[in-house]
A and B are shown apart, each in its own frame.
Chain A
Amino acid sequence: MDMKRDYYEDVQLFTSGVVLFWFVVLLSLIAVLPFVVKNYYIYVANFVAINVIVAIGLNILVGYTGQISLGHAGFFAIGAYGTILLMTKLHFPFLLALPAAALVAALFGFLLGLPALRLEGPYLAIATLGFGLTITQVIGRIELFGGRQGLHTPELIIGSWHLNSDRDFYCLLMPLTILLALGARNLIKTKVGRAFIAIRDADIAAETMGVNLVFYKTLAFAVSAFYAGIAGGLYAFVLRYIEPEIFTLMMSIMFLAMVVVGGLGSIFGAIAGAALLSWLDLQLRNILDMPYIGDWLEALSKNYFSITGVSNIQFIVFGFIMILIMLFEPLGLYGIWIRTKKYWRMWPF
């Protein structure tokens, strides 16, 4: 059913009219969203979109190139701090500062990619984890970066457009997210993307086939860091205040979890995973306000647990969701999607 007859068909953006149709539907949903929902949900959408960008970038590294990174909060922080500092200290306009900061992040990604050439599995995990921790420590130490007191973002002005509401920012963020998602998809379909996949499947075989390991592995790190850097710069403006303690190890772990839960090696997976986990992250605190369940949980806490710690239920639920998805579908949400699609195509057989 998905036969590709030539290269151009493979690189085509929309493989069929159906795909185009859904893409247009999605776009119009995104475009209409700010008019129909409350401002708060726009903030949530912004938050989700930023995580989507990181997840797409991380997916290039983890899903397509087969590396591990537990240090993406570091790149994220570089992007955030870089953007703000370039704007306040060097008076760069935002649209220049953002990619510039992301390029700095990409440079760090390249540097981190160098030791990664020889490492794999838990060794790589620890090395990248150390990177993430070190970055926040260094930022917290240097007074130029505001130290532990944090930094406030400057006014965001593009041309004559003052972006001072979440809705304005949404209008900037969504096209960027779509652009970056399409960019990632196109990257994967090119020679570079195929080199990445070859490295993931068997790096020595890839090398014998003439894939330059040094170049492509570090490139994967750099591209991935670039995405995280862009997302970080945008995140700073969603929050409008940053400090080093935001960029914790837990954040890196959540990024990785987004990619894995969503489904490795699929852009759709990265988007779905990021959307699900960041939405849960924000919304689970309201679990006690849910009808029936909330009352039941409160009664349970009163009798068996402590009422002061009742909010921790959100972690338990979060953990369960992550585990269940991984247990029932190793491919994550993407796998579930594919299975449902197949099921309906074959229905009723």
Chain B
Amino acid sequence: MIVSGIAAGSTYALMGMAMVIIYKTSEVPNFAQGEMALATSFFTLMLLEQRGLPYHLAFPAAFLFAIGLGCLLEFAVLRRAKEPSVLGFIVITIGLEMILMGLVSWKFGADPKTMPFPISPYDSIAIGGVFISSLELLTLFVALVLMIILFIFFRFSKLGMAMKATQQNHTAARLMGIRTNRMLMLTWGISSLVGCTAGLLISPITMQPYMMWDPMLKGFAAAVMGGMTSLPGAVFGAYILGIIENLFGGYVSIEFKSVIAFIIIVLVLCIRPSGLFSRHYVKKV
């Protein structure tokens, strides 16, 4: 149960990290995150099936597409918002979500599909009586590696520091010569890249225009539980969520499995209003 919870948690972790990256720098709860990954996944499917590209070309192309998409959305839409409020951003990202979803279903129709993938999603290995599929192992691996890379990136690289500075104090960062606008755009690109890995790792099983809605919500929930501004928090929250879901589904009630996560979150938030891993921050008057 715990193993399969961790496996499920990896996808949430990827989505959660993607949302945290954006929220951290620009305080936008990005509801379009899932659909950005969706668009990338279907783009990859098109490259693989219609253009017949081999994997080693299609996947890098997909990553580039994801970064481009993220940057484009920030540049063309988010940056144009005047005096935005959090609610305004929610509506804008939901609008983006609808547009992306509409474009994908318009282009590809509604029939379920599946993406060719180097490893079969249905092969598994047994570890002491517990079966874990190789795709899940890959997802776990990708999630952990990405987390470490992102951690190092934000902690030590110049670019990462600049992004962090942008988040902490926009004006000060600007005065120090950081092009905050460009930083924001890059943040969206990186976030989109992280999110798209989740999409690509779901796609080998089944693809349909609605596949990213649930992982996005769970990722968001995990990020909130972890504290919304902390990357390790999001990952930790995601695994906790996956494990709780699976334990609950296995031992208590499978019908309420999909909502138990949210009940737990409400409880957690009652105790720690800003999530597990972030300092409580009181708005000054």
Contact = CB atoms under 8 A, between A and B. Distances in A.
Nearest to B255: A141
Nearest to A126: B224
Between B101, B262, B265, B283, the greatest number of chain A beta carbons within 10 A of the residue's beta carbon is seen for B262
A330 B81 contact: yes
B277 interface: no
A120 B283 CA distance: 10
A256 interface: yes
Contacts of B84: 326, 330
Given A257-B91, A316-B106, A327 B259 contact: no
Contacts of B262: 126-127, 129-131, 133-134
A268 to B, nearest CB: 18
B102 A319 contact: yes
A160 interface: no
Contacts of B102: 312-316, 318-319
Given A118-B270, A123-B269, A134 B99 contact: no
Interface stretch (A75-83, A85-93, A210-218, A300-308): A300-308
A137 B80 CA distance: 39
A114 B96 CA distance: 32
Nearest to B86: A121
Nearest to A68: B87
Interface string A237-278: 000000000000100010011001100100000000000000
A159 interface: no
Given A115-B266, A122-B228, A309-B107, A326 B285 contact: no
A261 B95 CA distance: 11
A205 interface: yes
Given A119-B269, A323-B92, A327-B82, A313 B224 contact: no
Interface in B238-285: 255-256, 258-259, 261-263, 265-266, 269-270, 273-275, 282-283, 285
B285 A327 contact: no
Contact of B221 (A126, A141, A260): A126
Contact of A330 (B88, B105, B255, B269): B88
A319 B97 contact: yes
A127 B265 contact: yes
A309 B42 CA distance: 14
Contacts of B270: 115, 118
Contacts of A115: 266, 269-270
A170 B84 CA distance: 38
Interface string B206-229: 000000000001001100100010
Nearest to A124: B269
Interface residues on B, range: 35 or more
A323 B109 contact: no
Contacts of B256: 137, 141
B94 A118 contact: no
B77 interface: yes
Interface residues of A, number: 52
The B interface is mostly helix, strand or loop, or mixed, namely: helix
Interface in A85-123: 115, 118-123
Nearest to B264: A130
Contacts of A322: 91-92, 94-95, 98
A318 B96 CA distance: 10
B149 interface: no
A129 B221 CA distance: 10
A182 interface: no
Contact of B95 (A119, A120, A320): A320
B110 interface: yes
A305 B42 CA distance: 13
A330 B90 CA distance: 12
B284 to A, nearest CB: 8
Contacts of A42: none
B209 to A, nearest CB: 8
A204 B90 CA distance: 25
Nearest to A254: B94
Contacts of B94: 253, 257, 319, 322
Between B98, B99, B228, B259, the greatest number of chain A beta carbons within 10 A of the residue's beta carbon is seen for B98
Interface string A120-148: 11110111011101100100010000000
A62 B224 CA distance: 20
Contacts of B77: 323, 327
A127 B106 contact: no
Given A314-B102, A320-B95, 7 more contacts: A68-B86, A115-B269, A123-B269, A123-B273, A127-B262, A318-B95, A323-B99
29 contacts: A62-B87, A68-B86, A122-B29, A123-B274, A125-B90, A125-B224, A126-B265, A127-B265, A130-B262, A130-B265, A134-B263, A137-B255, A141-B255, A204-B283, A261-B91, A264-B87, A305-B107, A309-B107, A309-B108, A309-B110, A312-B102, A316-B103, A318-B98, A318-B102, A319-B98, A322-B98, A326-B88, A326-B91, A327-B80
